[in-house]
Amino acid sequence: MKFSMRVQWIAPGPTRSFIVVDERIVGLKPTSLSFAEAAALPLTSITAWEMLFDRMQVPHGSRTPGGTLLVLNGAGGLGSMLIQLANRLRGLTVIASASRPETVEWGKKLGAHTNGSKQERLLGRPCWKAFSNDCRLWPPRGVICAAS
């Protein structure tokens, strides 16, 4: 890292134009994103990471297929990050709920799987309906993790 590089990090409260930050907690701001867009990444990313690997105890390590993750509101910021982390880092099958055709397509582009009768029943439904009507889809010893 060099002085004046455009970076991002998580900090409590507002900051000034210039601030000294430990480089271990800083990442480069993607050049393709505005500052407003980049500002959303640290919170959604760390929340998704902690949900998967800390709360739900998805094992770290190599990409090993097996297992399924249901993401309600898959097109939201947190849902979008969960889809990508679960699918690309762990090889999990990701089922994402969505309420509009464009949000269904967004989930597919991020890596959500949509084949199979259980998945098809969730696609195109508002997330609260998916949650309230389809709890029976959870297998024994399944895990529920919610963010609010």
Q: Locate the DSSP E strands across the chain.
A: 7-8, 27-28, 68-71, 93-96
Q: How far apart are CA 111 and CA 108, in angstroms?
A: 5
Residue in the structure block whose two tokens are 């480089």: 23
DSSP bridge pairs for 93: 68
**CATH number assigned to the domain comprising residue 98:** 3.40.50.720
17 part of a folded domain: no
Q: What is the mean pLDDT of residues 114-122?
A: 44
Cα torsion at 48, 53, 58, 63 (round to 10°)? 80
Structure tokens at 49: 């990471």
Q: For residue 136, what pLDDT band results from cuts at 50, 70 and 90?
A: low
In a domain, 51, yes or no: yes
- Cβ–Cβ under 8 Å, residues 112 and 95: yes
Show the domain range for 116.
43-137
Average pLDDT value for residue range 99-121 = 72
With 50 as the cut, is the pLDDT of residue 118 above it? Answer: no
Query: How many domains is the chain partitioned into structurally?
Result: 1
